[in-house]
Amino acid sequence: MKKVFAKPKSLTEIPFTYCPGCHHGIIHRLIAEAMNDLDITKETIGIAPVGCSVFAYLFFDCDMIVAAHGRAPATATGIKRVKPDNIVFTYQGDGDLASIGTAEIVHAANRSEKITVIFVNNAIYGMTGGQMAPTTLEGQVTQTSPYGRDPKTMGMPIRICELLSTLNSPAYIARVALTKPAYIVKAKKGIQKAFQYQIDGKGFSLVEVLSTCPTNWGLSPKEANEWLEKNMIPYYPLGEFKCVEEGILNVR
Amino acid sequence: MAERLLMKGNEAIGEAAIHAGCRYYFGYPITPQSELTAYMARRLLKIEGAAFIQAESEIAAINMVYGASAAGGRVMTSSSSPGISLKQEGISYIACAELPCVIVNIMRGGPGLGSIQPAQGDYFQATKGGGHGDYHLIVLAPSSVQELVDLTIKAFDLSDKYRNPAMILGDGLLGQMMEPVQFKEFNKKSIPAKEDWALGSSKGREARRIVPFNLDPNELEKLVNEIGQKYQDIQKEVEYEVFNIDNPDIIIVAYGIVARIVKTAIQKAKKEGINIGLIRPITLYPFPGAAIEDIASKVEKILVTEMSLGQMVEDVKIAVNGKAKVSFYGRTGGVVISPVEILEEVKRLLK
């Protein structure tokens, strides 16, 4: 019988440690498929973050390093400057990238470091037990916004793709979701494109993936998908925000 | 014979680093070491394949160092006291990951924003770890511009040898002063190959993982113990200078620029018939405790002089272990000690 579906070779045999219904597993798979399809696994160096996905270093079958909280873009910068021929990607959650590591992501994007950033936005801190993230929605209840996020004192949720798109330097910025097959197909294309941009030396690429956290949202996996579609997508619209086909260095 | 050049301390460190094969520098400007950052920009931006980045912060800079070192680059960062404080988390990660790099601290007055004048208030931070967890840096303390050169090159070699971050601990006076220096020809073959552990292309081998944590306490204890064993091995790298130690009335222990000032005090003292000896630790970690203990059995009094409230004096007391009376004289806040006041303190102690 013909095998039509299997674990991508760029993933190790180690089982994922994520909660049921969490999207990290799908996102890992899409990255691994992109690495396989582009045949870059053996040339890739990944940077795992602090947070739920800290164990990402175990799951990808390429060289990996764990960065300090929020500093993955800086660590990636150091690696890429020493090994410009390798493909370098960071994997970061919303606390990591949009809170403690805001400076690092803004400046790595602004230097147009030739790295690929996979930004997982689930609107909440997962590993530390469900506290408010910079991306937590208005009115959303979390451990540290127990009466709902109040924009008067807590600010409005940060839209990273829109924010980084105001910079001239980044080459590719897109937001995708995974709640239905059509979205997953688009997400795969977006991630592949982000890596292709790096392979082609076009500059900084980032894909934001809207993701669920059933455990900390207090919802079933199915309800979590519905909540994401109903609440997150209207505030975090999907699509490509920046797509400098010629590469940023050629358009100034 | 290499040419003699008149160079500012900070720039001499930069040139020494380039001689040592350093091709990656990540830093952030701060007085009194900014000339070093500027020097690295001027040199590295002209070298094919090298990288200089003025990072967005000291925190970003040290994490660029972490990445560059993990990828096998010979890499350096530099800063001054408050900036080094910001780098501490990253330094702790680099120590845990057992990666080599050189960190330059051209100290200024503290705490807080302090001053921009020379001081030695970062001794504890430099020699006791500085960041969180059980670790040490290799700490070298030059006292002349020539030593800034020689010890910078040595710091790269020691950090590679032990895969442990090494620090050049100087002060604002050393960084800013100009003296003649010579660059001996550097043999590039002495840079150790890093292909057996550094990240890169994993074709033909297992994927590598650099992981500065372990959630299993027993596993982490094993790792920390292994790193601890390395500190035992590092003890053999102890280096110090002794000066005028035949029949001294008193021995002074001082490091860095203060040791230079003590030498002037020794000349002045001779004219007054007072014989002062000096021990100058060149490696602050590993600390030359055995040498100090040895000399303590030959004198009654030991004076420790520092540009701080008194930090190295604790290590001296441990080394002396009651064999002589240890006293302390210090100025702090960015005030530079004068030879006259050192001599006055010696006279007071000998009374």
* pLDDT of the residue at B66: 98
pLDDT digit string, tens, across residues B309-336 = 999 999 999 999 999 999 999 999 999 9
Query: At a CB cut-off of 8 Å and minimum separation 6, what does B300 contact?
Result: B250, B324, B325
B28 contact A CB<8A: no
Query: At a CB cut-off of 8 Å and minimum separation 6, what does A41 contact?
Result: A9, A10, A35, A61, A62, B202
pLDDT digit string, tens, across residues B70-118 = 999 999 999 999 999 999 999 999 999 999 999 999 999 999 999 999 9
Q: What is the 3-state secondary structure (H, E, C) of A92-158?
A: EEHHHHHHHCHHHHHHHHHCCCCCEEEEEECCCCCCCCCCCCCCCCCCCCECCECCCCCHHHHCCCC
pLDDT, averaged in runs of 10, over chain A (252 residues): 90 97 98 98 98 97 98 98 98 98 98 98 97 98 98 98 96 97 98 98 97 98 98 97 72 42
* pLDDT of the residue at A140: 98
Are B207 and A63 in contact by the 8 Å Cβ rule? The answer is: yes
Q: Which of B72, B93, B201 sits opposite A68 (nearest CB)?
A: B93
Contacts of A80 in chain B (CB under 8 A): 67
Closest listed residue to residue B33, CA positions, set B49, B51, B17, B50: B17
Query: At a CB cut-off of 8 Å and minimum separation 6, what does B221 contact?
Result: none
The answer to whether the CB atoms of A64 and B213 lie below 8 A apart is no
- From residue A131, how far is each of A72, A98, A126, A142, A148 by CA, in Å? 21, 14, 8, 5, 11
Structure tokens at A17: 């440690």
DSSP B205: S
Helix (H), strand (E) counts: chain B: 12, 15
What's CA B28's distance to the chain center, in Å? 19
Query: What is the SS3 assignment for A38?
Result: helix
Contacts of B40 in chain A (CB under 8 A): none
Q: Is A163 exposed, middle or buried (0-12, 13-18, 19+ CB in 10 A)?
A: middle
Q: DSSP letter string over B237-302?
A: G--EEEES-SS-SEEEE--THHHHHHHHHHHHHHHTT--EEEEEESEEES--HHHHHHHHTT-SEE
Residue B214 CB coordination number (10 Å) = 14
The answer to whether the CB atoms of A78 and B24 lie below 8 A apart is yes
The verdict on whether omega for the bond into residue B286 sits within 30 degrees of 0, i.e. cis, is yes
A78 contact B CB<8A: yes
Q: Which of A57, A71, A80 sits opposite B209 (nearest CB)?
A: A57
Residue of B209, B213, B216, B220 for testing the chain A interface, max A β-carbons within 10 Å: B209
Location of structure tokens 């303590």: B296
Residue of B63, B86, B220 for testing the chain A interface, max A β-carbons within 10 Å: B63
A92 contact B CB<8A: no
Closest listed residue to residue B241, CA positions, set B280, B214, B276, B272: B280
Reduced DSSP (H G I as helix, E B as strand, rest coil) percent helix, strand, coil of chain B, to 5: 40, 20, 40
B73 contact A CB<8A: yes
Q: Which of B63, B69, B209 sits opposite A74 (nearest CB)?
A: B63
Are A51 and A95 in contact by the 8 Å Cβ rule? The answer is: yes
The answer to whether the CB atoms of A45 and B199 lie below 8 A apart is yes
Contacts of A45 in chain B (CB under 8 A): 71, 199-200
* pLDDT of the residue at A178: 98
Between residues 207 and 226 of chain B, which touch chain A (CB distance below 8 Å)?
207-213
Query: Is pLDDT at B184 greater than 90 in this prediction?
Result: no
Burial code of B117-142, b = ≥16 C-beta within 10 A, e = fewer? bbbbbbbebbbebbbeebbbbbbbbb
CA distance A231 to B153: 58
CA distance A145 to A138: 10
pLDDT digit string, tens, across residues B242-276 = 999 999 999 999 999 999 999 999 999 999 999 99
The verdict on whether omega for the bond into residue A49 sits within 30 degrees of 0, i.e. cis, is no
Q: Which of A12, A60, A68 sits opposite B63 (nearest CB)?
A: A68
A79 contact B CB<8A: yes
When pLDDT is averaged across residues B159-170 and rounded to a whole number, the result is: 98
Which pLDDT band, with edges at 50, 70 and 90, does B189 fall under?
low
* pLDDT of the residue at B331: 98
The answer to whether the CB atoms of B60 and A62 lie below 8 A apart is no
| Chain B: closest CA distance from residue A104 (Å) | 6
Q: Residues A92, A5, A214, CA angle at the centre, nearest 5°? A: 40
CA distance B312 to B329: 11
Share the mean pLDDT of chain B. 96
Residue of A66, A81, A89, A90 for testing the chain B interface, max B β-carbons within 10 Å: A81
